[in-house]
Amino acid sequence: MSSKLPWTRLFADRWILDLACLSPIECNVYIKLRLQMLYTGEPLLNNTKVWANYTGCSVKMFMKALEVLISTGHIERLDDGCLWSLKVEEELNNSNESLDKVSKTSRSKKLSERAKKAAQARWDKHTNDACDDAKAPENPDENDAKAMLNDAKVIKHDANSMLKDAKHDAYDMLNDAYIYNINNNTNNNSYNKKTNTIVLAKKE
Protein backbone atom coordinates (compact mmCIF):
# COMPACT_ATOMS: atom_id res chain seq x y z
CA MET A 1 0.00 0.00 0.00
CA SER A 2 1.20 3.48 -0.79
CA SER A 3 2.63 5.46 2.13
CA LYS A 4 0.69 8.54 1.08
CA LEU A 5 -2.56 9.15 -0.73
CA PRO A 6 -1.65 10.26 -4.27
CA TRP A 7 -3.55 12.95 -6.09
CA THR A 8 -4.60 12.08 -9.60
CA ARG A 9 -6.21 13.77 -12.54
CA LEU A 10 -9.90 13.39 -13.21
CA PHE A 11 -11.10 13.82 -16.79
CA ALA A 12 -14.89 14.08 -16.71
CA ASP A 13 -15.27 13.25 -20.42
CA ARG A 14 -13.30 10.02 -20.03
CA TRP A 15 -15.29 8.96 -17.00
CA ILE A 16 -18.55 9.62 -18.84
CA LEU A 17 -17.41 7.44 -21.75
CA ASP A 18 -16.21 4.71 -19.40
CA LEU A 19 -19.54 4.58 -17.57
CA ALA A 20 -21.85 5.17 -20.54
CA CYS A 21 -22.30 1.50 -21.50
CA LEU A 22 -22.42 0.11 -17.92
CA SER A 23 -25.41 -0.74 -15.77
CA PRO A 24 -25.82 0.93 -12.35
CA ILE A 25 -24.39 -2.12 -10.54
CA GLU A 26 -21.45 -2.33 -12.97
CA CYS A 27 -20.80 1.42 -12.56
CA ASN A 28 -20.82 0.99 -8.77
CA VAL A 29 -18.37 -1.92 -8.87
CA TYR A 30 -16.07 -0.23 -11.40
CA ILE A 31 -15.89 3.10 -9.61
CA LYS A 32 -15.20 1.58 -6.18
CA LEU A 33 -12.60 -0.89 -7.44
CA ARG A 34 -10.83 1.82 -9.41
CA LEU A 35 -10.76 4.20 -6.45
CA GLN A 36 -9.37 1.43 -4.26
CA MET A 37 -6.62 0.79 -6.83
CA LEU A 38 -5.74 4.50 -6.87
CA TYR A 39 -5.62 4.50 -3.09
CA THR A 40 -3.41 1.44 -2.70
CA GLY A 41 -1.37 2.06 -5.83
CA GLU A 42 -1.22 -1.66 -6.56
CA PRO A 43 -3.37 -4.52 -7.97
CA LEU A 44 -6.14 -5.86 -5.76
CA LEU A 45 -6.28 -9.44 -4.55
CA ASN A 46 -9.26 -11.13 -6.14
CA ASN A 47 -11.21 -11.85 -2.96
CA THR A 48 -14.76 -12.03 -4.24
CA LYS A 49 -16.48 -11.95 -0.86
CA VAL A 50 -14.48 -8.95 0.39
CA TRP A 51 -15.10 -6.87 -2.73
CA ALA A 52 -18.77 -7.87 -2.83
CA ASN A 53 -19.21 -6.47 0.66
CA TYR A 54 -17.12 -3.42 -0.25
CA THR A 55 -19.34 -2.61 -3.24
CA GLY A 56 -22.57 -3.45 -1.41
CA CYS A 57 -23.46 -6.33 -3.70
CA SER A 58 -24.09 -10.00 -3.23
CA VAL A 59 -21.28 -12.31 -4.28
CA LYS A 60 -23.29 -13.46 -7.30
CA MET A 61 -24.05 -9.89 -8.43
CA PHE A 62 -20.44 -8.83 -7.91
CA MET A 63 -19.04 -11.75 -9.91
CA LYS A 64 -21.47 -11.05 -12.77
CA ALA A 65 -20.58 -7.34 -12.83
CA LEU A 66 -16.83 -8.13 -12.64
CA GLU A 67 -17.03 -10.47 -15.63
CA VAL A 68 -18.65 -7.69 -17.67
CA LEU A 69 -15.96 -5.19 -16.63
CA ILE A 70 -13.19 -7.63 -17.58
CA SER A 71 -14.80 -8.33 -20.94
CA THR A 72 -15.12 -4.62 -21.75
CA GLY A 73 -11.55 -3.87 -20.75
CA HIS A 74 -12.44 -1.72 -17.74
CA ILE A 75 -10.76 -4.17 -15.37
CA GLU A 76 -8.00 -6.69 -16.06
CA ARG A 77 -7.37 -9.97 -14.31
CA LEU A 78 -3.61 -10.51 -14.07
CA ASP A 79 -1.86 -13.87 -14.33
CA ASP A 80 -1.74 -14.15 -10.56
CA GLY A 81 -5.50 -13.53 -10.35
CA CYS A 82 -5.22 -9.93 -9.04
CA LEU A 83 -7.46 -7.18 -10.40
CA TRP A 84 -5.89 -4.15 -12.08
CA SER A 85 -6.64 -1.24 -14.44
CA LEU A 86 -4.28 0.21 -17.07
CA LYS A 87 -5.99 3.57 -16.71
CA VAL A 88 -5.19 3.55 -12.99
CA GLU A 89 -1.56 2.71 -13.83
CA GLU A 90 -1.43 5.67 -16.23
CA GLU A 91 -2.77 8.06 -13.61
CA LEU A 92 -0.41 6.80 -10.90
CA ASN A 93 2.59 7.22 -13.20
CA ASN A 94 1.51 10.78 -13.96
CA SER A 95 0.93 11.45 -10.27
CA ASN A 96 4.40 10.17 -9.33
CA GLU A 97 6.05 12.26 -12.03
CA SER A 98 4.18 15.34 -10.85
CA LEU A 99 5.09 14.65 -7.22
CA ASP A 100 8.75 14.22 -8.21
CA LYS A 101 8.69 17.57 -10.03
CA VAL A 102 7.10 19.26 -7.05
CA SER A 103 9.61 17.65 -4.72
CA LYS A 104 12.54 18.70 -6.90
CA THR A 105 11.17 22.22 -7.17
CA SER A 106 10.71 22.34 -3.40
CA ARG A 107 14.24 21.05 -2.79
CA SER A 108 15.63 23.53 -5.31
CA LYS A 109 13.74 26.34 -3.61
CA LYS A 110 15.03 25.27 -0.19
CA LEU A 111 18.59 25.06 -1.50
CA SER A 112 18.19 28.48 -3.08
CA GLU A 113 16.92 29.91 0.19
CA ARG A 114 19.79 28.30 2.08
CA ALA A 115 22.30 29.67 -0.40
CA LYS A 116 20.71 33.10 -0.11
CA LYS A 117 20.84 32.97 3.68
CA ALA A 118 24.47 31.79 3.60
CA ALA A 119 25.41 34.62 1.22
CA GLN A 120 23.58 37.12 3.43
CA ALA A 121 25.37 35.77 6.49
CA ARG A 122 28.75 36.11 4.75
CA TRP A 123 27.89 39.66 3.69
CA ASP A 124 26.77 40.61 7.20
CA LYS A 125 29.97 39.18 8.66
CA HIS A 126 32.07 41.08 6.12
CA THR A 127 30.19 44.30 6.91
CA ASN A 128 30.57 43.82 10.67
CA ASP A 129 34.30 43.10 10.31
CA ALA A 130 34.71 46.25 8.23
CA CYS A 131 32.90 48.29 10.89
CA ASP A 132 35.03 46.76 13.64
CA ASP A 133 38.20 47.62 11.70
CA ALA A 134 37.00 51.19 11.28
CA LYS A 135 36.30 51.47 15.02
CA ALA A 136 39.56 49.74 16.04
CA PRO A 137 42.19 51.90 17.86
CA GLU A 138 44.97 53.40 15.77
CA ASN A 139 48.48 51.99 15.59
CA PRO A 140 50.43 52.72 18.82
CA ASP A 141 53.45 53.84 16.78
CA GLU A 142 51.30 56.35 14.94
CA ASN A 143 49.93 57.60 18.27
CA ASP A 144 53.46 58.05 19.61
CA ALA A 145 54.49 59.94 16.49
CA LYS A 146 51.46 62.23 16.78
CA ALA A 147 52.22 62.83 20.46
CA MET A 148 55.85 63.72 19.67
CA LEU A 149 54.71 66.09 16.92
CA ASN A 150 52.32 67.80 19.33
CA ASP A 151 55.13 68.11 21.92
CA ALA A 152 57.41 69.63 19.29
CA LYS A 153 54.74 72.18 18.41
CA VAL A 154 54.36 73.11 22.09
CA ILE A 155 58.15 73.46 22.53
CA LYS A 156 58.37 75.62 19.41
CA HIS A 157 55.57 77.83 20.70
CA ASP A 158 57.29 78.16 24.10
CA ALA A 159 60.59 78.99 22.41
CA ASN A 160 58.97 81.68 20.30
CA SER A 161 57.35 83.13 23.41
CA MET A 162 60.68 83.12 25.26
CA LEU A 163 62.44 84.80 22.31
CA LYS A 164 59.75 87.43 22.13
CA ASP A 165 60.01 88.07 25.86
CA ALA A 166 63.83 88.27 25.61
CA LYS A 167 63.64 90.82 22.80
CA HIS A 168 61.14 92.85 24.79
CA ASP A 169 63.36 92.76 27.90
CA ALA A 170 66.45 93.72 25.88
CA TYR A 171 64.60 96.65 24.36
CA ASP A 172 63.49 97.82 27.81
CA MET A 173 67.03 97.52 29.15
CA LEU A 174 68.46 99.46 26.22
CA ASN A 175 65.85 102.19 26.65
CA ASP A 176 66.60 102.42 30.38
CA ALA A 177 70.33 102.67 29.67
CA TYR A 178 69.75 105.42 27.13
CA ILE A 179 67.63 107.47 29.56
CA TYR A 180 70.15 106.94 32.33
CA ASN A 181 73.01 108.15 30.16
CA ILE A 182 71.14 111.30 29.22
CA ASN A 183 70.30 112.12 32.82
CA ASN A 184 73.87 111.47 33.95
CA ASN A 185 75.39 113.76 31.32
CA THR A 186 72.94 116.52 32.21
CA ASN A 187 73.90 116.47 35.88
CA ASN A 188 77.64 116.54 35.17
CA ASN A 189 77.47 119.55 32.85
CA SER A 190 77.28 123.20 34.24
CA TYR A 191 75.18 125.92 32.80
CA ASN A 192 76.68 129.44 32.20
CA LYS A 193 73.88 131.85 32.63
CA LYS A 194 75.85 134.78 31.22
CA THR A 195 76.68 133.25 27.97
CA ASN A 196 73.69 130.94 27.95
CA THR A 197 75.99 128.03 27.23
CA ILE A 198 76.48 124.69 28.78
CA VAL A 199 79.98 124.00 30.02
CA LEU A 200 80.72 120.34 29.60
CA ALA A 201 82.37 118.72 32.54
CA LYS A 202 85.82 117.37 32.03
CA LYS A 203 86.15 113.70 32.18
CA GLU A 204 88.63 112.48 34.71
Query: What DSSP assignment string belongs to the chain?
Result: --SS-------HHHHHHHHHTS-HHHHHHHHHHHHHHHHHSSPBP--HHHHHHHHT--HHHHHHHHHHHHHTTSSEE-TTS-EE-HHHHHHHHHHHHHHHHHHHHHHHHHHHHHHHHHHHHHHHHHHHHHHHHHHSPPPHHHHHHHHHHHHHHHHHHHHHHHHHHHHHHHHHHHHHHHHHHHHHHHHHSEEETTTTEEEPPPP-
72 located within any domain = yes
The average confidence (pLDDT) of the chain is: 76
Domain total in the chain: 2
Going by C-alpha positions, the residue among 60, 49, 76 that lies closest to residue 25 is: 60
Digit-coded pLDDT (tens) for 165-198: 777 767 677 776 667 666 665 555 554 545 555 4
Same domain, 22 and 82: yes
Residue with more model confidence, 138 or 145: 145
128 located within any domain = no
Its domain, for residue 51, covers: 12-91
Q: How much is the pLDDT for 203?
A: 47
Q: How much is the pLDDT for 181?
A: 65
Same domain, 18 and 83: yes
134 pLDDT higher than 70: no
Same domain, 86 and 20: yes
Confidence of residue 123 (pLDDT cuts 50, 70, 90): confident
185 located within any domain = yes
CATH number at residue 73: 3.30.450.410
- How far apart CA 157 and CA 169 sit, in angstroms, is 18
70 located within any domain = yes
Q: What percent of the chain has pLDDT over 70?
A: 62
136 located within any domain = no
Q: What percent of the chain has pLDDT over 90?
A: 31
| Structural domain ending residue among the three candidates 91, 124, 152 | 91
116 located within any domain = no
Same domain, 85 and 147: no
78 located within any domain = yes
105 located within any domain = no
59 pLDDT higher than 60: yes
